[in-house]
Amino acid sequence: MFWNKESKEKQAMQQENLQLAARLSYQEARLDHQLCQQFLARQDADTAAKDAFLAWQKTCYSYPEQEQWTIEEEIRALESYIQWFASLQAEPFFFKTNYQIEDPTLLIQPLISLALVQNALRNGYNSMENHPVKIRIKVAFNQFTMEVSNRVNHYLEDQANNILIKNFQSRLAYCYPGEQHSLLINSNSNVFKCFLQVKLAL
């Protein structure tokens, strides 16, 4: 009986830790602290630029946390993030996107696509036109598939070994437990690639 109680308490604590990491992952997707720091460090931002950035941040803050939204809204938020990221870079930034969406009204956890993109933009090379960050999203039937790849940053031992990815893995486990999701991460001497699949409710 004592062992049973201890086991249940341990499981409850593990679930609480999983939920906390999942929430941290969502918050970083919603309000990217590094991007905010980049904007605040700019010396050339005029009033209009500041107002536009603050308006975008206000929009991000209004994104739902406890409810799902449509694939269409997810893509729109992702595109907005990428455009802001590109506008704040001192060097040229190259990326390619490809979307194949059969039903944009299907529901998904908000900003679930951002962590892999944030990881590629922050930790991979993206300033070479011949080696852009590539983002592919496909939604068919009840399957959300995403592939993100970037040129390897040879100054990093492992691009997947960071709190951004670890918290994201926790969010996937919390929001889409068991076989509802799969995340594969591969890397060679040239390319770092993530492949995500999520089962959506019909």
**Amino acid 199: pLDDT:** 97
Count each helix (H run) and each strand (E run) in the chain, helices first.
6, 7
* pLDDT tens by residue, 61-85: 889 887 999 999 999 999 999 998 9
* CA atoms of 199 and 108, how far apart (whole Å): 9
Residues counted in the chain = 202
Q: What angle do CA 103, 108, 114 make, to 5 degrees?
A: 110
Task: Give the tokens for residue 187.
Answer: 């890397």
* CA atoms of 144 and 199, how far apart (whole Å): 6
**Amino acid 68: pLDDT:** 95
- Hey, what domains does the chain have and what are their CATH numbers? 2-199 (3.30.565.10)
126 neighbors 95 (Cβ within 8 angstroms): yes
**Amino acid 42: pLDDT:** 79
**Amino acid 5: pLDDT:** 65
pTM strictly above 0.85: yes
* CA atoms of 141 and 106, how far apart (whole Å): 9
111 neighbors 29 (Cβ within 8 angstroms): yes
pLDDT tens for the chain, 202 residues: list them: 555 666 778 888 899 999 999 999 999 999 898 888 888 887 777 788 888 888 888 888 889 887 999 999 999 999 999 998 988 888 888 999 999 999 999 999 999 999 999 999 999 888 888 889 999 999 998 999 999 999 988 787 789 899 999 999 999 999 999 999 999 999 988 999 999 999 998 7
